[in-house]
Amino acid sequence: MNIEEIKKDFPIFKNTNITYLDNGATTQKPIQVINAINEFYEKYNANPHRGAYGLSIEATKYYENTRAKVAKFINAKHTEEIIFSKNATESLNLLAYSYGMDNLKKDEEIVLSIMEHHSNLVPWQKVAKTTGAKLNYMYINDKFEISNEEIEEKITKKTKIVGITHISNVLGTINDVKKIIKYAHKMGAIVIVDASQSIPHEKIDVQDLDADFLIFSGHKMLAPLGIGVLYGKRELLNKMTPFLMGGDMIEYVYEQDTTFAPLPNKFEAGTQNVEGVIGLGAAIDYIEQLGYDTIQQIEKEVVDYAIDELTKLDYLELYITPNRKNHSSVISFNIKGIHPHDVASILDSNGVCVRSGNHCAQPLMRYLGIDSTCRASFYFYNTKEDVDKLIEALNKAYNMFKKYINI
């Protein structure tokens, strides 16, 4: 597959002259996704589930068909196990409030990894404080990985909820979630998998993983901003109380009481982001057409090249595991003695977009003993030329600063 051909699907690369290496934050959108949204508004726009007229029924069909598409995409057993949300953060808040608050008792434990994004961390602090449960962390070793010993030490018989990111948005470490889930189940805990950084790059099979809940956002996998997904096992979702209350999530509403709609509507209050759902459907079509094998093949070649070239820069500190097979397509780094914001500004002035900061992972940064990093994150439309531009811009940054650096 020719990457230059693939790049032509992305209008932003025709309209700008940037080297986009911030795919961990959000990906660019292919014309197929943009067109699908356009088509919805031009031909089918109505409020799903509301009207008895043809157009609303048509809109409902598109909305619900995408739910079935998402279910198939991640191999969920039942379509109603797919709940649409605003983003990964909202999916996780739903779980914290509708599952965590009701299922944790004093002195029971929530176990997270130290590499969780704030969205899979801050809500659990609230749950822990409210319920009296304890919040414990699985820490990483010097290879930026969670060891078996750490898993078995931290997940105990007291653990009721384990929250784990499939791939770290800072380190790119791929966690063995299948192993963690198996062990957690043995201990009697349920597991929430944050697949935000993995689903753009690799096939997710919720039944094979045996994940109890799995969440992701659409915009990191070619879909529009503002659409997220929560997958949950049907028996768990059925037992949970609704998160947001309002229209469309009810059966009968009386003056003092209400009965709630069955899944999935129980968790989808109010008019939904239909264009987001349609765009997500088109994004899934795009990924499936290209194929995860091709995506991984392209990314491996480019990311391997990036790691090789970045390793050659002796002024650079890299935060990646040496086990290449456990590493995805996110590379965090710092130029020794130069603050990442300054590096990112100089990169930006050379047309190279990277993220700098704490990447919504302050506890991880503190654990690593740093304030922030620069992060280059790749997707299948990135090329070796993009890597060359990054290296060239890094050399410029280093040369601008080197006579002032005192480490």
Partner 1 sequence: MEDLTDVYNELIMEHSMNSYNKRKLDDATISEIGHNPNCGDEITLEIKLNGNIIEDLAFSGHGCAISQASTSIMIDTLKGKTIEEGREIIKTFIGMIKREITDEDELKKLEDAIAFKNVANMPARVKCALLAWHTIENMLNEKV
Catalytic annotation, residues: 360
Which tokens in the block code for residue 8? Answer: 């032509």
Shortest Cβ 404–partner 1 spacing (Å) = 4
Shortest Cβ 136–partner 1 spacing (Å) = 25
What does the chain come to in residues?
407
The interface region with partner 1, picked from 188-196, 272-280, 337-345, 381-389 by CB under 8 A, is 337-345
The interface region with partner 1, picked from 57-65, 89-97, 127-135, 397-405 by CB under 8 A, is 397-405
How far apart are the C-alpha atoms of 278 and 29, rounded to whole Å?
13
- With CB under 8 A as the contact rule, the residue among 341, 385, 392, 395 that binds partner 1 is 341
Q: Binders of partner 1 among 50-109, rule CB under 8 A?
A: none
- With CB under 8 A as the contact rule, the residue among 283, 338, 374, 390 that binds partner 1 is 338
Handedness of CA 153, 156, 158, 159 (dihedral sign): positive
93 vs 356, which CB is nearer to partner 1? 356
The contact mask relative to partner 1 for 346-385 (x = CB under 8 A, - = no) is x-xxxx----xxx---x--x-----xx-------------
Q: How many residues line the site for partner 1 (CB under 8 A)?
A: 23
Shortest Cβ 218–partner 1 spacing (Å) = 24
65 vs 362, which CB is nearer to partner 1? 362
DSSP 8-state code for residue 370: -
The interface region with partner 1, picked from 53-61, 163-171, 306-314, 399-407 by CB under 8 A, is 399-407
Task: Answer for the pair 374, 356: CB distance below 8 angstroms, yes or no.
Answer: yes
The tally of CA atoms less than 13 A away on the side-chain side of residue 177 is: 28
Shortest Cβ 396–partner 1 spacing (Å) = 9
DSSP 8-state code for residue 51: -
Shortest Cβ 22–partner 1 spacing (Å) = 13
Query: Is 268 strand, coil or helix?
Result: coil
The interface region with partner 1, picked from 33-41, 249-257, 345-353, 379-387 by CB under 8 A, is 345-353
Task: Answer for the pair 85, 231: CB distance below 8 angstroms, yes or no.
Answer: no
From the CB of residue 226, how many other CB atoms can be counted at a distance below 10 Å?
16
Q: Which residues contact 378 (CB under 8 A, 6 or more apart)?
A: 21, 23, 299, 302, 303, 306, 329, 330, 331, 386
- Across the beta sheet with 355-357, the strand order is 316-318, 330-335, 373-377, 355-357
281 vs 340, which CB is nearer to partner 1? 340
Under the criterion CB under 8 A, does residue 122 sit at the interface with partner 1? no
**Residue whose tokens read 């030490």:** 153
Under the criterion CB under 8 A, does residue 26 sit at the interface with partner 1? no
How far apart are the C-alpha atoms of 51 and 269, rounded to whole Å?
17
- With CB under 8 A as the contact rule, the residue among 292, 339, 353, 391 that binds partner 1 is 339
- With CB under 8 A as the contact rule, the residue among 345, 385, 392, 399 that binds partner 1 is 345
323 vs 345, which CB is nearer to partner 1? 345
Shortest Cβ 158–partner 1 spacing (Å) = 33
Under the criterion CB under 8 A, does residue 15 sit at the interface with partner 1? no
Angle at the Cα of 332 from the Cα atoms of 92 and 387, rounded to 5 degrees: 120
How far apart are the C-alpha atoms of 15 and 18, rounded to whole Å?
9
Distances (CA, A) of 211 to 69, 116, 186, 234: 19, 17, 13, 12
64 vs 342, which CB is nearer to partner 1? 342
166 vs 355, which CB is nearer to partner 1? 355
Binding stretches for partner 1 (CB under 8 A): 338-342, 345-346, 348-351, 356-358, 362, 365, 371-372, 400-401, 404-406
